[in-house]
Amino acid sequence: MTDPKKGITEREAIEQAQQGREAAFETLYHLHKRRVYSLCLRMVSNPAQAEDLAQEAFLQLFRKIGTFRGESAFSTWLHRMTVNVVLMQLRKKGLPVVSLEETLEADNEAPRKEFGTKDVRLTGSVDRLQLQRAIDRLPPGYKTVFVLHDVEGFEHNEIAQMVGCSIGNSKSQLHKARLKLRDYLKFMRAEKAKTG
């Protein structure tokens, strides 16, 4: 990964940041700011909070950059740190990182799937903005797992470790999140068709 403006690689930037060079810190920030901020924004659905969390994630990373030896990918290190910062914040606010209730809840609480009946399909496309709005509406427990798995690409075993749940729990929450999203998206599509 190379900063297109400064023409230095991520590796060089890390080495220079370890020596305390501001430009190197800035290069690393610009290389990863989108991914980090987007992750925070998806998880908390609040731009101001997301900025604070992204700031905290980068600060934690930069404070520990002297210990980075390159055994793992820098981006992996940063994104795990970001997730931990966000999860810590959610826990502080008393929001469920992963909800036991949601996992054990009766099917009547889960989205209705209407198996065996004719259903409206999403017809092969999903508007990005609508999908984002639908994600924002997810309960926190569902949202965490969905964002980490489907948006950020973490595996269930990694999610289970990060949020402190079982792999089965992570899979279950993801499945329910997708079903809820499907319902939300269909609802939004129907509303849009009515109004316009």
Region binding another protein by CB under 8 A among candidate stretches 21-29, 80-88, 92-100, 158-166 = 21-29
Tell me whether residue 6 or residue 94 sits nearer to another protein (CB atom): 6
Q: Does 156 bind another protein (CB under 8 A)?
A: yes
Among 92, 116, 194, 196, binds another protein (CB under 8 A): 116
- In whole angstroms, give the CA distance from residue 16 to residue 97: 36
- CB 151 within 8 Å of CB 134: no
Q: Return all residues near 14 (Cβ < 8 A) that are at least 6 apart.
A: 24, 28, 65, 68, 70, 74
- In whole angstroms, give the CA distance from residue 193 to residue 176: 26
Interhelix angle 10-18/22-44, rounded to 10 degrees, is: 110
- CB 61 within 8 Å of CB 77: yes
Task: Kindly state the smallest distance separating residue 127's Cβ from another protein, in Å.
Answer: 9
Region binding another protein by CB under 8 A among candidate stretches 82-90, 96-104, 150-158, 188-196 = 150-158
Site residues (vs another protein, CB under 8 A): 4-5, 19-22, 25-26, 29-30, 33-35, 37-39, 41-42, 50-51, 54-55, 58-59, 62-63, 113-122, 124-126, 128, 131-132, 135, 146, 149-153, 156, 171-172, 174-175, 178-179, 181-182, 185
